[in-house]
């Protein structure tokens, strides 16, 4: 270990030792003791437009040891409050959350060959409320880590299609990595927020909550063409970046962000600790405007969210028609999610829809147009108010410039790929869900020489 890393390691250990010693011995400040930790105060631009990955989760105190205290139907986490330790930490401004999400997928028919794959991701986040810890008003710090298990992934290793049907990091050996290492500050009475450090573009921009009713990784969170063509950081691959979000009005917001990007930013061998600026790096700059309607603003009406955004990437890319290295490309997206029907007055059950459309120029983007959307119904069964039934689709159109290059070089021409997906998420307990899933991959990788694939499997997730 290098001398700077040794020094950093020593400082962190010393800091945590001092903090936990003080926690064990000191009386909790009366103001802290009288108030429950409220994560909604971190929701710049309203709790339905916040970057929830960077903010603490909802926390219910007095969970004991969760399942081990007989509270498996009510505890928010499998291990509960750790006998009250988590509650005391939260009152001091420290929240720790660990979650696991795994996916099994198999293609009994179609693709290049048949196979099955299990991919799982365990992540741990530590959120520090600097106002409670250091009296630093409206400041926070987050550090998080992720580990994805070794093994093949169905899309690249068996089907060979474009849109990954399950978790995929491009590494068969598995990898642990640093994800977030970021500082955030809210300004002007929570009308603005700036975040700096190791952050993820896809957590801030072009994201839809309803898109993650899908297990397909091209749809979940960021259903846009950029993910397929440029270095667009998505979980768990963080990069250096900064983002400013403002909310001058009551139902709209604007944000801009810039991120250092390069071709190998997902390299599992650096474990998220490549803090350098490699040759060929560029800056990915984005802007987004969002509008929120209905119950999301605490007014009557079906809730909805709409976003429009644009980006420019200055890194070195391959020009598809000539195979030359060039700099720069751009793209546009528009997306929204809207509740269409509600069974009750609090809009917690009913039918919702989402749609995302995106475009990127054909000369430097493999996927030049993408559309994704779906319908979901929460509470479709009377006795299962937390369960979600969903149908999702995605369509990706390959670049004409790429097709021209392939024809001129006697390669298989790629034209389009379609994903159709149907699943049912069963919320077994607040800390546990299970999602049987079926997908159909039409025209995999845009190539006529690969048979359409049927994918069956499930996802499971738990908060520890």
CA distance to 87, 114, 342, per residue, from 339 (Å): 35, 38, 7
Q: What gap in Å lies between CA 54 and CA 56, rounded to an integer?
A: 7
The encoded tokens of residue 370 equal: 């993408």
Q: Count CB atoms within 10 A of the CB of residue 355.
A: 19
Q: What gap in Å lies between CA 55 and CA 129, rounded to an integer?
A: 10
The three-point CA angle 301-287-291 to 5° equals 10
Q: What is the chain's Cα-based Rg? A: 23
Q: Greatest CA span in the chain, whole angstroms?
A: 75
Given a contact cutoff of 8 angstroms between Cβ atoms, the answer to whether 342 and 312 are in contact is: no
Given a contact cutoff of 8 angstroms between Cβ atoms, the answer to whether 320 and 401 are in contact is: yes
Which residues in the chain land under pLDDT 50? 1-40, 42, 44-53
Map residue 65 onto helix, strand or coil: coil
Given a contact cutoff of 8 angstroms between Cβ atoms, the answer to whether 59 and 39 are in contact is: yes
pLDDT, position 352: 96
Residue 363's nearest CA partner among 408, 315, 412, 398 is: 398
- CB within 8 A of 15, min separation 6: which ones? none
Please, where are the H alpha helices in 73-112?
A: 85-91
Over the stretch 76-106, which tens digit does the pLDDT of each residue have?
888 988 888 988 888 888 888 889 999 999 9
pLDDT, position 427: 93
CA distance to 171, 201, 386, 420, 424, per residue, from 383 (Å): 42, 38, 9, 28, 15
The encoded tokens of residue 147 equal: 């580990």
pLDDT, position 296: 67
pTM: 0.86
Element (H, E) at 401: helix 400-408
pLDDT, position 298: 66
The three-point CA angle 202-206-207 to 5° equals 70
What kind of fold does domain 36-463 have according to CATH? Porin (2.40.160)
Peptide bond into 236 cis (omega under 30): yes
CA distance to 36, 44, 80, 378, per residue, from 73 (Å): 22, 31, 11, 19
Q: What gap in Å lies between CA 408 and CA 395, rounded to an integer?
A: 26
pLDDT, position 7: 42
Over the stretch 371-398, which tens digit does the pLDDT of each residue have?
999 999 999 998 999 999 999 999 999 9
- CB within 8 A of 110, min separation 6: which ones? 159, 441, 444, 450, 451, 452, 453, 454
């Amino acid at each position: 270990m290098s001398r700077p890393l040794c020094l950093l390691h020593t400082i962190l250990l010393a800091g945590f030792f001092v903090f936990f010693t003080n926690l064990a011995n000191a009386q909790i400040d009366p103001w802290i003791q009288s108030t429950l930790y409220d994560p909604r105060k971190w929701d710049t631009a309203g709790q339905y437009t916040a970057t929830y990955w960077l903010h603490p989760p909802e926390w219910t105190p007095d969970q004991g040891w969760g399942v081990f205290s007989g509270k498996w139907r009510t505890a928010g986490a499998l291990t509960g409050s750790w006998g009250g330790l988590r509650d005391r930490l939260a009152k001091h401004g420290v929240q720790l959350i660990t979650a696991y999400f795994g996916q099994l997928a198999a293609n009994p028919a179609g693709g290049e060959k048949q196979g099955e794959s299990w991919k799982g991701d365990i992540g741990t986040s530590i959120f520090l409320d600097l106002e409670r810890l250091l009296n630093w008003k409206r400041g926070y710090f987050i550090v998080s880590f992720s580990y994805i298990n070794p093994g093949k992934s169905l899309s690249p290793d068996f089907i060979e299609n474009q849109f990954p049907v399950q978790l995929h990091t491009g590494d068969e050996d598995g990898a642990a990595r640093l994800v977030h290492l970021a500082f955030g500050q809210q300004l002007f009475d929570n009308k603005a927020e700036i975040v700096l450090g190791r952050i993820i573009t896809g957590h801030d921009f072009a994201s839809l909550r309803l898109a993650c009713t899908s297990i397909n990784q091209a749809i979940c969170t960021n259903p846009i063409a950029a993910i397929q063509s440029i270095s667009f950081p998505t979980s768990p691959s963080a990069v250096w970046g900064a983002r400013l979000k403002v909310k001058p009005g009551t139902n709209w917001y604007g944000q801009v962000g810039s991120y250092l990007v390069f071709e190998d930013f997902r390299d599992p061998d650096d474990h998220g600790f490549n803090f350098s600026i490699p040759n060929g790096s560029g800056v990915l700059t984005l802007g987004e405007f969002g509008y929120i309607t209905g119950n999301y603003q605490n007014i009557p009406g079906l809730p909805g969210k709409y976003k429009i955004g644009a980006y420019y990437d200055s890194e070195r890319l391959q020009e598809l028609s000539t195979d030359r290295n060039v700099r720069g490309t751009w793209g546009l997206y528009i997306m929204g999610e809207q509740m269409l029907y509600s069974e009750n007055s609090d809009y917690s059950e009913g039918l919702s829809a989402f749609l995302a459309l995106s475009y990127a120029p054909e000369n430097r983007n493999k996927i030049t147009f993408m559309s994704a959307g779906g319908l979901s119904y929460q509470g479709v069964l009377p006795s299962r108010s937390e369960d979600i039934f969903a149908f999702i689709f995605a369509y990706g159109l390959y670049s004409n410039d790429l097709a021209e290059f392939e024809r001129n070089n006697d390669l298989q021409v790629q034209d389009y790929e379609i994903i159709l997906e149907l699943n049912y998420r069963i919320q077994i307990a607040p800390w546990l869900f299970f999602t049987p899933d079926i997908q159909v991959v039409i025209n995999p990788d845009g190539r006529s020489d690969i048979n359409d694939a049927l994918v069956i499997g499930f996802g499971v997730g738990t908060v520890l």
